[in-house]
Structure 1
Amino acid sequence: MSSIKKAFLVILLLVVGGEAAVYAQDYSWEDSVYTVQAPEGYVFPMSEDEVVEAATSAPGWDEYADLGFDPDKAIILDDFIRNDGYIPRVSNEVLEERLKAVEGDIPLTFNNNVRMFIDYFSVKKRGYTLEIMQRTNMYFPTFERILNEVGVPEELKYLSIIESALKPVALSRVGAKGLWQFMPATGRSYGLKMNYYVDERMDPEKSTRAAAKYLKYLHDYFGDWELAIAAYNCGPGNIRKAQRRTGKFHFWDIYHKLPRETRGYLPQFVAMLYVLNYTEEHNLFQDNPNYEIPAAEIFVSQSVDLSKLASEIKVCKEDLYLLNPELRLKFVPKSAKNYALNIPAARVENFEENRASILKNVKYTGSRELDGEGMFYHRVRSGDNLGKIARMYGVKIWQIKDWNGLSGSMIRIGQKLRIYGRGYTPSKAKTASSSSSTSSKPKPVSVSTNGTHTVKSGESLYVIAKAYGMTIEQLKSANGLTSSKIRPGQKLKVSKGSTTAKSSNTSNSTSKASASSANMHTVKSGDSLWSIAKKYATTVSQLKKLNNLKSDKLSLGQKLKVK
């Protein structure tokens, strides 16, 4: 066939076959990083028992990183027709221009490292990115609200994708858990509770607030959002070490002295932020997005089996599990006091009107609840091991590991281990108090007459609205609330209602330490300038200045001014 005939045939195919002819070539991954489709059926490791890994550790990354593609050969995309098999080509200049357009408080530096991750998420792992797009509507509204309340950039919401792929139950190999991948010690230091029954690292609301506060602290400490994000991954100690080794202070200047995972962490964040802001430009469409279930809190002081509750209020048990991911065993323990349980907002009124009968039928009757209540410590002695300690208290080895954040079986003499359940005997006073508070009826709301109500523990929007003759929607509208979440101490605008319920004006005086002792800290074992600064909401540099310190070294018993 002559060259003229060949050219005519190609043109004819393009005209007759339309766009299908353009994409008829059978490209493979090795042929082009721009035209390959993600492997069919690819699923990122996301189940509860699997480890969520950074992209640099994900399957196939080494192969991708070694390809040595030439981004300069890319072409600018002007127009395209949506086609699931079409992956647009975008030049470096266009990518850099687009990043500048969405840049806010956090610098979005573009370079080859960022380019590789943009192609990783928009080309090779398109299936994974589509999964992320499916879940963003479930969590981003909560993230945005809390990040704004704490006063940190809204763009930080993309960090949770790099941490957990928006999976509340994500668990890493080293024990980090939840949407924001808190290690046990860091989580506890920011107020997240962890025990046999509950792990608040998996609570979207509480873990996001803790992450926002931690990121705010890191930014206050370093004065730089890129370093704050990197420190969230590897800890501020590794950042300071890299700064000492290089004598420089910006992320890209200390890049090569950072841990390998951290070197990919910030570029991944920038790349994912870019891709999710330009999904259509990369022919990424999610036709089946998931959405947040409108929820409200109810408060219970007894055991509640989520599957039984779901049956009583006529909702899917999977929805209740999704709304309460922090409940590790899918039930509220019998020792609970005013436990905030999330249920679909549309079912709150039905629950409150039938509270007594519903709570009577939803008690947990399985075998996973521990005997006894509360927690005690076991101090490790010579000859102890986890198996011996577990047999001594009638619990499981994995439980002891989980209660104490242990990733292995190594324990040391003198170490204190938390033990819950069997072996614990509550005091008579505690037994009496617990037996006197078994009523399922919530305490009446103390009605205020000045138009402002202060939220108390155990109160929900429903009971507050009812006390003031309002609807939940009226109460939310009056206070600019976008969700039904409220906190003890929060001030709410209410209608100036009846005075049938007397508000208690009694106050208990609390003793305060003397000004001098409140402004001093005595160094204890394990203290560092960083941990002390965090405890007193200050910075390392301020502590050093207050105490005329030339280095970070401390000695036990040393007195430090903190204010």
Structure 2
Amino acid sequence: PAAKPPPPASKPAPQAAKSAPAKPAAKNASSKSSTPRGPRIPESAARRAIASGPTYDETALGADTPELRALAAAERELFPPSQRDLSSPWPEELPFPVAATDDKPRVHASGLPPAPPPSAPPVTSESGKDLAWLATLNLPDLPVRWDGRVVRYLEFFKDDPRGRATFTLWHRRSGRYIAQVRRTLRNKSLPEDLAALAMIESGFTPTARSPVGALGMWQFMAETGKIYGLMQDRWADQRMNVTIATEAAADHLSDLHRRFGSWDLAMAAYNMGYGGVLQAVRRYNTNDYWALSKLEGSLPWETTLYVPKILAAAVVSRNLAAFGFQDVQQDAALEGEEVMVAPGTALATVAQACGTTTKEVEALNTELRASRTPPSTEDWRVLVPAGKAAGCSASLAKARKEAPTEHYTVRFGETLEQVAQARRTTAAKLVDLNAIQPGEVIRGGTVLIVPKMDPNAPAVADAKTDPKKSASNDKPAVIVPQDLFVYPDRKRVFYRVQVADTLKDVATAFKVGTDELRRWNDIDPSARLVEGMTLQVFAPPSCDLSQMVVLGESDVHTIVAGTEEFFRHWEEKGRRRTVVTAKAGETIEQIGRRFGVSPALMERINRRGRRETLSEGERVVVWSPGPSAPLAADAPQLAALAKPPVVPERTPPLDSAPAPSLLPALP
């Protein structure tokens, strides 16, 4: 469900257009509560926006599970492009649960002609099949309209082998959660058959994840989840917690219904975002979902099938025998008892204490991403099989005292190797303890589980993990711009860029502006920071430098770009700068070859094409490898060198006496 307050989300939230809760507005939910099963803390302002406030457009998104992929493939056959202008067969003898409006005038968008009056209601489908059997069905507590799409889905689930296989799997799996879902909907005074929405979204799979990031049985996007108080971090994601996510989905659906007053539109908004539905209603001047679904350009094609699909699933669920699913055995309900577990406890430890399997405990706690309770400062509510809580608590109390681990908060700019070195362990051990995935970036502020160690034991640092050390114990050189910046109340430090750092990340961490960082370091704001760069930062007093890994003035050797010191530095690195006077007709490629310098480097140094013809007397700069200048064979040709290049005057160091400030001192 995507939903965004001011910015609508896709799906359940006020956002774009797409698939149910998941594709909606994103939800990056992170609840202030430290326990996944603790009270959710929804964003009341955002919910008010969804229920009655302004919104904007969003893009449509969709869910993707094995069954839904198969269903999508079948839908391409059921509803081919040539037949997407669907009629609505409503047999006369069938009930019409929603207030019929055919006998009332309809309002159409300006410029759009009204649809021609329907002919006598058919009693057969377009394929010629008898539809009289529909009159015998029990109807769900959602308003059902016998639209052609609804009928096609009913026939698909009843007669098509693919449809039967899909619904069989969904119905079997629903047994694990359907009682809980219906109970939650009932307690919130919502139609219980809205449970069919979870069936269509994920097939009742709590861990379902769509390609666009929608997650859980109700397919919440991160932003929508955040609005409804669903906690999300690397340890736990409440979008996968059936109990809490169902409560959030019920609240979201309630908000959407309050806004639109129609379950058809509420479900459509859950799929494509309430902003998109609002826009369609206003543009085409009708609040009838079924009318909108047949107007060109009004709703995404997926949304025109989404509501009929939910209604069909709800009808089938109420008429299992009529559709031949009466013998499908549902899975046993997954319900358990809560126990309080210490932070950072592995679910394997909980399972052992309860005398059950890790797999069974994990199935009850699908929101725990690392199969371990988060290393927070509070105990975590974990579900265990019914009847196991009492004995489990006693065993866990003993395990708590013997726990060999504790938690550690990663500093901004700190690498996993540095954490491992400081804790006298290995990076591989940390990866195992914290279920760190390949390619996962551990950012500052992340809480990790680490082995316990003597707090008085000094940490061992080496060249690989300590940013203040190099192999030769020399201070690392940092090249800084020629501009001088003076801030009496700030402290200059140097930050080494880590993988995935962005200018905004660094600016936020140091409590400075991105524009300031750009000026201090000659940074292109549109380009990515590269790992290994060293940025100079003038940190304000409000910045807590103890929470980040930085180098101080005394830890580095600062060199101003373009100064004599700058050139000497590179000479010490194995390159020597020489200025050569060219002969008429020479090219920088030819000159570079004499000095063993590549054409590409010569182009970069001299800012001209490698084969461009030079005039007599032109000066060419060469950075030759090694302290000796050109190759011995070419020495005679360098007898006469031009005057040394003019080196810009170096600005005084930061700690020198008063120098004009390019930026005003900040208060």
State the TM-score, normalized to the length of structure 2.
0.45
In structure 1, the partner of 2:433 is: 367
Partners of 1:297 and 1:343 within 8 A in 2 = yes
Partners of 1:56 and 1:264 within 8 A in 2 = no
Q: Output the CA distance in 2 between the equivalents of 1:345 and 1:373.
A: 39
Shift of 1:223: 1.0
Q: Output the CA distance in 2 between the equivalents of 1:58 and 1:294.
A: 32
CA deviation string 1:442-464 (max 9, x = no partner): xxxxxxxxxxxxxxxxxxxxxxx
Q: 1:333 to 1:172 in 2, by over 3 A?
A: same
Q: 1:109 to 1:344 in 2, by over 3 A?
A: same
CA deviation string 1:382-429 (max 9, x = no partner): x99964559x99xxxxxxxxxxxxxxxxxx8799xxxxxxx99669xx
Q: Output the CA distance in 1 between the equivalents of 2:77 and 2:312.
A: 19
Matches within 5 A, 1:299-338: 299-338=340-379
Partners of 1:351 and 1:358 within 8 A in 2 = no
Match of 1:201 among 214, 223, 239: 239
Partners of 2:353 and 2:391 within 8 A in 1 = no
The alignment covers a number of residue pairs equal to: 330
CA deviation string 1:236-256 (max 9, x = no partner): 111112112221111111113
User: Is residue 59 from structure 1 mapped to residue 102 from structure 2 by the alignment?
Assistant: no
Match of 1:93 among 110, 113, 132: 132
In structure 1, the partner of 2:218 is: 180
Q: Which runs of 5+ in 1 are unaligned?
A: 1-48, 75-88, 377-382, 394-411, 416-422, 428-563
Q: Which runs of 5+ in 2 are unaligned?
A: 1-62, 92-127, 406-428, 437-441, 448-495, 507-524, 529-543, 549-667
Matches within 5 A, 1:143-542: 143-255=181-293, 256=295, 257-360=298-401, 366-368=432-434, 374=445, 387-388=500-501
Question: SS at the partner of 1:340?
Answer: strand
Question: SS at the partner of 1:367?
Answer: helix
Q: 1:94 to 1:50 in 2, by over 3 A?
A: closer
In structure 2, the partner of 1:112 is: 148
User: Is residue 135 from structure 1 mapped to residue 149 from structure 2 by the alignment?
Assistant: no
CA deviation string 1:207-238 (max 9, x = no partner): 00000001001111111111111111011111
Q: Output the CA distance in 2 between the equivalents of 1:363 and 1:131.
A: 43
Shift of 1:51: 4.0
Which has the higher Rg, Structure 1 or Structure 2?
Answer: 2
Question: SS at the partner of 1:279?
Answer: coil
Q: Which has the higher contact order (CA 8 A, sep 6+)?
A: 2
Partners of 1:163 and 1:179 within 8 A in 2 = yes
Partners of 2:341 and 2:396 within 8 A in 1 = no
Q: 1:56 to 1:258 in 2, by over 3 A?
A: farther
Partners of 1:305 and 1:363 within 8 A in 2 = no
Q: Output the CA distance in 2 between the equivalents of 1:133 and 1:193.
A: 29
Q: 1:232 to 1:96 in 2, by over 3 A?
A: farther
Question: SS at the partner of 2:378?
Answer: coil
Shift of 1:152: 1.3
Shift of 1:90: 7.5
Partners of 2:257 and 2:263 within 8 A in 1 = yes
Partners of 1:56 and 1:62 within 8 A in 2 = no
Amino acid at match of 1:58: A
Shift of 1:374: 4.2
Amino acid at match of 2:133: V
Partners of 1:51 and 1:173 within 8 A in 2 = no
Shift of 1:71: 12
Q: Output the CA distance in 2 between the equivalents of 1:54 and 1:251.
A: 23
Partners of 1:117 and 1:267 within 8 A in 2 = yes
Q: Output the CA distance in 2 between the equivalents of 1:210 and 1:342.
A: 19
Q: 1:425 to 1:150 in 2, by over 3 A?
A: farther
Q: Output the CA distance in 1 between the equivalents of 2:233 and 2:499.
A: 18
Question: SS at the partner of 2:434?
Answer: coil
Partners of 1:168 and 1:204 within 8 A in 2 = yes
Q: Output the CA distance in 2 between the equivalents of 1:389 and 1:226.
A: 43
Q: 1:424 to 1:114 in 2, by over 3 A?
A: farther
Shift of 1:312: 2.8
Question: SS at the partner of 1:191?
Answer: coil
Q: Output the CA distance in 1 between the equivalents of 2:377 and 2:66.
A: 32
Partners of 1:305 and 1:362 within 8 A in 2 = no
Shift of 1:50: 6.4
Shift of 1:343: 0.5
Partners of 1:333 and 1:369 within 8 A in 2 = no
Q: Output the CA distance in 2 between the equivalents of 1:91 and 1:108.
A: 19
Shift of 1:290: 0.8
Question: SS at the partner of 2:359?
Answer: helix
Question: SS at the partner of 1:276?
Answer: helix
Amino acid at match of 1:174: V
CA deviation string 1:456-507 (max 9, x = no partner): xxxxxxxxxxxxxxxxxxxxxxxxxxxxxxxxxxxxxxxxxxxxxxxxxxxx
Matches within 5 A, 1:37-48: none
Partners of 1:298 and 1:348 within 8 A in 2 = yes
Partners of 2:88 and 2:147 within 8 A in 1 = no
Partners of 1:309 and 1:358 within 8 A in 2 = no
Q: Output the CA distance in 2 between the equivalents of 1:235 and 1:151.
A: 23
Q: 1:145 to 1:302 in 2, by over 3 A?
A: same
In structure 2, the partner of 1:121 is: 157
Shift of 1:284: 2.0
Question: SS at the partner of 1:342?
Answer: strand
Q: Output the CA distance in 2 between the equivalents of 1:362 and 1:285.
A: 50
CA deviation string 1:255-279 (max 9, x = no partner): 1321111000000001111112222
Partners of 2:87 and 2:148 within 8 A in 1 = no
Partners of 1:374 and 1:424 within 8 A in 2 = no
CA deviation string 1:525-550 (max 9, x = no partner): xxxxxxxxxxxxxxxxxxxxxxxxxx
Q: 1:362 to 1:59 in 2, by over 3 A?
A: farther
Matches within 5 A, 1:533-552: none
Question: SS at the partner of 2:339?
Answer: strand
Moved over 3 A (4+): 49-57, 64-72, 285-288, 358-367, 369-376, 383-390, 412-415, 423-427
Partners of 2:342 and 2:400 within 8 A in 1 = no
Shift of 1:363: 6.6
The farther-off stretch of 169-178 and 282-291 is 282-291
Shift of 1:128: 1.3
Partners of 1:335 and 1:373 within 8 A in 2 = no
Shift of 1:338: 2.4
Amino acid at match of 1:251: Y
Q: 1:287 to 1:237 in 2, by over 3 A?
A: closer
Question: SS at the partner of 2:338?
Answer: strand
* Aligned-pair identity (%): 26
Q: 1:315 to 1:246 in 2, by over 3 A?
A: same
